[in-house]
Structure formats: structure tokens, C-alpha cells
Structure 1
Amino acid sequence: MNKKYTVLIIDDKKENLKYLNEILKEEDYNVKASTDAIFAINSSKINPPHLILLDIKMPDLNGFEVCNLLKKEEKLKDIPIIFISALNDIESKLKALNIGGVDYITKPFEKEEVKARIKTQLKIFESKQTISKLLEQQDFFLKKIIHEMNTPLSIISLNIDSLESLLGPKEQFETIKASSKSLSSIYNDLYYLSKKEKRVSEPTNINLMRFLSSRMAFFDEMANVKDIDISLDIHNEFNIFMDSYELERVIDNTISNAIKYSFENSNIDIILDIEEDSYKLEIKNEGIQIADTKTIFDAYYQQKEKNVGFGLGLSIVKDICNKYKIDINVTSINNQTSFSYFFPKNLLIKEDVI
């Protein structure tokens, strides 16, 4: 390892500190050692180590109590802790791991084992730090994309509407509108991902028939470009109590995917029904068959035959459905694909059910 790591040892036995210090110096670690747990914690707040070796049986505070204190400190909570102890029973090992330890080394120490375990945990710690930084960069990147996309999309939409009012309907305008709607759907997915941790859901009474009609109108140009007919078939009408923006992400991603993977001159059927006391929304299309219906909800999944988009839409759908306990059933046989959503009774507005 090129980076010089700092390892903190907390043990009430000075002979243990001396022995471990000699071992770690061989690996060129920067070693800090203390028999005083509170002093070690307070010092670590100022200069956090990269890894902590922590004894269990100590006076005043035992290792488990020290670990709990470390995990409460924002600066120290993610530092890997390897417990070192003469205790070799399974209960102590399980407790150490359950309260946040990453490993457990029993005394007497085997020099090479100590080195290997520390090296492994430092590599894992470094990888986690790298992932954390990448996630921060991803978050910044998403916010940047969202900011840069919003204004051009608004300008395109306004200018196309103005041109259409001056020149009348044209096929090219339909194509531009369809592309704009596709970008708008991607924008809304990215916006959801960037805000979902902080956004507060606001459930409201939603009439699904009217809601679906509005989303069908939104995707009208996208469907027209491929001569796809979208029909709404209401067997039973019902209302649900749900956040409208989150419901929109579920509906929009399902409809846009259905359009994207449908054959030209085909049909998309949107059905509302009640089957054996189950309240179902089904969206069916005729098009490219899904090879594996189990993996389509994974983030960044893309169908090989249509390597388009970011592969985020259905991951968002799954996330929202899990939140509301909405069951999803996907079938794809003989170029007929169906997405069915089954709403739990607690989401229904019972007095409005027909």
C-alpha cells in the first residue's frame, strides 16, 4: 500500500500495545496506542485513524462500550474496528460483529494473521471511501444534468407550440414533440432520484381513470410517431390514496417503456379491473419480448435489442412500488408483454369504488 495508514490500538495491557506496535511498524503503518479508551476517543475526534484495534476486557469501559461510543461520533462511525481479545466464545464474536466490528482476532496473536486481517480491512475501507466519493460526484452530476436539461426542454416545447399555431400540424412537429416528451420523462426520473431522500410524499385522493387519461395525452405524440394506438379499458373504476408525483413516475415509465419496445402499428392496452378482491392496473403491449423479467427492475438494466435510455425507469418503479407495497407481475410471452400492478387495500378510497 502506497498510502501511509494510521492504526489506533486501544488495550489496557502495555505488553500487548508494545507487541502490536512492533508488528504494525513492519508494515510501515503510523501507529497510535493508548490504554485509556476515553483519551483515545477524544484524540481520534481531532485526528481520526484509518483503523482501530480494540480490546474487549478492559477496566472502566469494555471494548463493546467503547465501540458503541465510537459509532455515535459522526467523524468516527465509519472507521473499521477489529476486536482483539482472549475471549474465543461464539457469543463474544457475534456481539462484536453485531455492534459494528468488522473482524475479530483472538489472543495470543499470530503476527502474519494480524497483518493480513488489517491489510484486508484497510483495503475494504479504502474501497468504501472511493465509492462514497463516486456517489458524491454522481449526485453532483445528476443535479448538473437536471439544471442543464430543464431550460432547453421548456424552450423546445414553447417554440414548437408557437410554430404549430403559425404553420399548422406537421409530421416533423409530432416527431420533435415526441422526442421532447421522451427527454422530459428522463428528466423527471433524474429529478426523482436527486430529490427522493429529501422529498416529502404528499398522498392525495387520485381517480385512476382521470389520471391515466392525462398521462395517455402526455404520451400521445410518442405513440403517434410509431402509429401505436393506446386505449383505456375501464372494467372497474377506483380511487387510490397516493402521492401523485410518485404515481406519475410509475405510470409514465411503464407507458414510455411500452411505447419504446412496441412494434409499429401495434396496440397498447391500459386496463383497470378488480379480480378476486385485487385492484389491478395492467398495461399490455405488443413488441420485443423481455428475455428476463426478473432483472428488468435492476438499476441500469437495458434490453439488448433496444440499448437506449439510462435503465433507471423501472428501478424507480420498483422503488416506489416497494414503498407503497404495490405488487408487480410481469409476463412476456410470444411478443405480448404485460405489466400488472396490484394495489393493497390500504391505498384504496373505498367510498369511491364503483
Structure 2
Amino acid sequence: MDKNYTILIIDDKSENLHYLSNILKEENFLIRATTDASFAINSSKLNPPDLILLDIKMPNMSGFEVCKILKKDETLKDIPIIFISALDDTQSKVKALNEGGVDYITKPFEKEEVIARVKTQLKIFESKNTISKLLELQDFFLKKIIHEMNTPLSIISLNIDNLESTLGYKEQFEAIKASSKSLSSIYNDLYYLIKKEKRITEEKSINLVRFLSSRVAFFDEMANIKNIDITLDINEEFEVFMDSNELERVVDNTISNAIKYSFENSTIEITLDKEDENYILFIKDEGIGITDTKAVFQAYYQQKDKNIGLGLGLSIVKEICDKNEIKIELSSEKNNTVFKYIFPQNRVIKGD
């Protein structure tokens, strides 16, 4: 392995410490070994090891108790712990894993098994650290993208409106506006992703007729590029109580998805209705359809041979709907795809 990892061995039997220390030193691991569990905990806080081999049956403090203490410490909780014990019953092994252990080695020790299990857990630990660093870089990268996108989008929108008021309607202006709206939708998805943990949810009563009308108007240029007609049918008028930004992400991503995958010269139907006691929003499009109606809600999913978008929109939709207890029913057949959003009763404010 590339790094000289430090392994802490905690066992009340000095012969076990000696044996494990010797075989692991042969693999160029740095070894710290002790029979004192309290000392091991305190020393770990000062100088955390990369992996811990921990005996279960010890006087004064059991291995399970030591593990609980370590897992409560913010700086030590991610250190992999392999339990070592003469106990070979299933119950002990299950408890060890439930307490936070990553593996379990039974006595008497087999040299090759100990080395293999230690190396495997260190590789997993190393991979987790790499993923964690990549996620930090991804977060930083997304924040940079958000920052860099905002100003150019605002400038494009402002200037195209000024040009259109000066020169009059041009087909090219429509295309620029549509592209700007598409980028704006991507921007809003990325902004939601990086801000969702810190953002304070502000729930309020939202008139769906007015809200949906504004979103249809927003996507007008994008729909016009493909000569798609977006209709809004109100069979049952009602309001929903939720955060407007979250509702916007649900509606915008569904409409945007419908436009991307719809055929030219087709229709997207948006309907508010009531079935039995359920208040429902339908969004139906006429397009290529969705092959896998379950996988489509996974982050970064893209339909085979259709490399369109980032694959984030519908995963955000699913996340928000789960949070607000909005049930999603998705059907797709014969070039007709229908997203059905069923609002829970506690979020519906009924119309007159």
C-alpha cells in the first residue's frame, strides 16, 4: 500500500498484542498496541490511528463499550474498527457490526486472514476518504459555476429584451430566449442542490392556477422552438401549502423534461383535478416516452441513446416530493407520458 498506515491494537492479552504486532509490522504498518482501553481512547483523541483492532472481552471496559465511545467522537467516528474475539457465534458477530465494526476476526488468528482483512478495510477507508474529497471539490465546483452563471444570464436576458423592444420581434430572439430559459432552469437546479441544507423553508398557501400560469409563461419560448402547445386545464381549483421554491423546482423540472422529450408540433397538457378525495396535478406530454419509469428519478440518470440534460431535474423532483409527502405516479406508453402528483390532504387548501 502507498501509505504507512497506523494500526492501533487493543487487547487485554499481551500474547495477542505481540503476535498481531509482529505479523502486521512485516507489512510495513505502524503499530500501536495496548492492554489499557482507557489509554487507547485518550491516545486516539490526541493521535488518531487509521484502523483499530479491538478485542471484545476485556476487563473494566468491553470492546463494545470502547467502540461506542469512539463512534461518538467527531474526529474518531469514521476510523474502521475490526473486532477480534474468541467468540464465534452469529449473535456476537451481528452485535459487533451493529455497534459500528466493519469486520470481525475470530481467534486463534490466521496470519493471512488478518493481513487480508486489514488491507481490505484500509482500502475501503482510503476510497471513502477519496470520495469525500471529491464531493468537497464537487461542491466547490458547483458553487463556482453558480457564481459564474448568474451575471451572464442576467445580462443576456436584459439585453435581448432591450433589443426586441428596439428592433421588434425576430425569430432569432425567440431562440436566444429559449436557450437562456434552459440555462436558467439548470442554474436553479444547481442553486437548489448547494443551498438545500442551509436554506430555510418558507411554507405558504400557493394558488396553483396563478402559479402554473406563471410557469407556463416562463417556458413559452422553449416550447415555441419545437412548436409545442402548453395547455392549462382547471377541473378542480385548489391551493397547496408548501415552499414556493420547492414547488417551482417540481413544476419547472417536469415541464422542462416534457419539452425536451416531446415531439415537435405536439401538446403538453397540465391539469388540476380531483379523484375521489385526492387533489392532483397532471402533466402529460406526447413524446418519445420513458423506458425505465423507476430509474428516471435517480441522480444523473439519462435515457439510453438520449444524452439530454444533466440528469438532475427529476431526482430533485423526487427528493422534494418525498419531503412534502407528495405521491408521484408516472406512466409512459404509446408516446404518452404522464406525471401525476397527488398532494396530501394536510397540504391542500380547497377552493370554493
User: Which bracket does the TM-score occupy, shorter chain normalised?
Assistant: over 0.9
1:23-51 per-position Cα deviation (integer Å, ceiling 9, x unaligned): 11121111111111222122112221110
Distance in structure 2 (CA, Å) of the matches to 1:209 and 1:270: 11
Aligned residue number for residue 253 of structure 1 = 253
Distance in structure 2 (CA, Å) of the matches to 1:131 and 1:304: 26
Structure 1 residue 200 displacement after superposition: 2.0
Aligned residue number for residue 353 of structure 1 = 351
Distance in structure 1 (CA, Å) of the matches to 2:47 and 2:147: 38
1:293 match: secondary structure: coil
Q: Does 1:29 align with 2:24?
A: no
Counterpart residue identity of residue 323, structure 2: K
1:121-177 per-position Cα deviation (integer Å, ceiling 9, x unaligned): 111111111111111111111101000100000000110111111111211111101
Structure 1 residue 88 displacement after superposition: 2.0
C-alpha contact (below 8 Å) 1:280/1:340 kept by paired residues: yes
Structure 1 residue 353 displacement after superposition: 2.9
Aligned residue number for residue 18 of structure 1 = 18
Structure 1 residue 59 displacement after superposition: 1.6
Q: Does 1:209 align with 2:209?
A: yes
1:283-341 per-position Cα deviation (integer Å, ceiling 9, x unaligned): 01111121111211111111234312111000100111111121111111111111111
Distance in structure 2 (CA, Å) of the matches to 1:353 and 1:27: 73
TM-score normalised by length of structure 1: 0.97
Q: Runs (4+) of structure 1 moved beyond 6 Å?
A: none
Structure 1 residue 89 displacement after superposition: 2.3
Q: Does 1:289 align with 2:289?
A: yes
Cα RMSD after superposing both structures: 1.1
Q: How does 1:180-219 map to 2 (within 5 A)?
A: 180-219=180-219
Aligned residue number for residue 119 of structure 1 = 119
Aligned residue number for residue 310 of structure 2 = 310
1:304 match: secondary structure: coil
Aligned residue number for residue 139 of structure 1 = 139
Aligned residue number for residue 167 of structure 2 = 167
Distance in structure 1 (CA, Å) of the matches to 2:316 and 2:271: 22
Q: How does 1:91-106 map to 2 (within 5 A)?
A: 91-106=91-106
Distance in structure 2 (CA, Å) of the matches to 1:27 and 1:346: 61
TM-score normalised by length of structure 2: 0.98
Distance in structure 1 (CA, Å) of the matches to 2:316 and 2:162: 34
Structure 1 residue 94 displacement after superposition: 1.4
Aligned residue number for residue 269 of structure 1 = 269
Distance in structure 2 (CA, Å) of the matches to 1:306 and 1:19: 58
C-alpha contact (below 8 Å) 1:12/1:58 kept by paired residues: yes
C-alpha contact (below 8 Å) 1:83/1:105 kept by paired residues: yes
Distance in structure 1 (CA, Å) of the matches to 2:293 and 2:176: 32
Distance in structure 2 (CA, Å) of the matches to 1:305 and 1:93: 46
Distance in structure 1 (CA, Å) of the matches to 2:231 and 2:216: 9
Aligned residue number for residue 43 of structure 1 = 43
Distance in structure 2 (CA, Å) of the matches to 1:48 and 1:36: 16
Distance in structure 2 (CA, Å) of the matches to 1:58 and 1:306: 59
Distance in structure 1 (CA, Å) of the matches to 2:303 and 2:76: 43
C-alpha contact (below 8 Å) 1:261/1:306 kept by paired residues: no
Aligned residue number for residue 54 of structure 1 = 54
Distance in structure 2 (CA, Å) of the matches to 1:22 and 1:113: 14
Aligned residue number for residue 327 of structure 2 = 327
In the alignment of these two chains, the number of paired residues is 352
